[in-house]
Amino acid sequence: MRSRYIDIDDRSQDLAEILADEPEVAEEFQKVYEISWLHHENALEGVVYSAQELAQALQNQPVSDSISVAAHREIRNHKAAIDLVRAEAAQKKPKLGFALVKRIYETLGQGFDGRRTAELRKEMPLHRAYFHEIAQPAKIQPMLAKILELADTTEFRGAHPVQQASRLHHGFMQVYPFTENSGRVARLLANLLLLHGGLLPCVIHAIDRQRYYESLKQPETALRELMLEAIESGLSNAEKLVRQARAERRRLAR
């Protein structure tokens, strides 16, 4: 496992150096990568947007027949939450407390009644996308506090970013603090840790949706394995995108 982490770290560093040296390629790469991130992230929740619909919303183009006003807002909110997470990840020591959880949740819920304020779940939802065991309402606050406090321990800070991300992600989902958007918040928190550790965001593909749900019913190691595979796949795709972008720029420069 250690060699796997070393390989991820080395490839991530090589990619970061290329992107730092070629800002135009970096800008193009980030746009493509974030479209993929938003597509698969929403697909995990059972909501499928095309690349065209995502681009339309992100460019704030007028709403067309293919996408509703609410979906347009959802996408833009999600992008704002990603930007928030990127900014926090760039800090020397991100503050992984309830204040950050609240900001992420409320950024995702801007403009939507019932989601403007981060209020902990008060009941067991009858219908939800996830089917693993979740905390009873009375236990949400202490369990969530314990998970967030874990992130400030010496042991946690000494772990590899992938280990940190999967632990926080899995623990947060066992609590499932909000009736809506708990999954999105959990994955954004996990990606904050990965970004802070110098890695790409973990984009779990829609094809692995069922496996992702199943991993939340199992020990945290099952989710970690899925995340490792997603990170390795993301690196391979990123390296391919960068090679193509660099080749195209060389072609145009001739």
For residues 80 and 110, the answer to whether their CB atoms sit within 8 Å is yes
Task: Collapse the DSSP code of 62 into the 3-class scheme (helix H, G, I; strand E, B; otherwise coil) and give the result.
Answer: coil
CATH number of the structural domain spanning residue 25: 1.10.3290.10
* Burial class for 74, CB neighbours closer than 10 Å (0-12, 13-18, 19+): buried
Residue among 156, 190, 186 nearest 173 (CA): 186
Give the residue numbers spanning the domain of 173.
2-253
Q: Name the domain count of the chain.
A: 1
The CA distances from residue 179 to 60, 119, 183, in Å, are 28, 9, 10
Both tokens of 211, joined, read 């496996």
pTM score: 0.93
The CA distance from 71 to 87, in Å, is 24
Average pLDDT of each block of 10 consecutive residues along the chain (254 residues)? 92 94 88 93 92 88 74 93 97 93 96 85 84 95 96 94 98 96 97 97 96 97 98 93 82 77
The CA distance from 117 to 114, in Å, is 7
The CA distances from residue 236 to 38, 172, 229, 254, in Å, are 18, 28, 11, 28
The CA distance from 220 to 223, in Å, is 5
For residues 100 and 88, the answer to whether their CB atoms sit within 8 Å is yes
90-117 pLDDT, tens digit each:
999 998 999 999 999 999 999 888 788 8
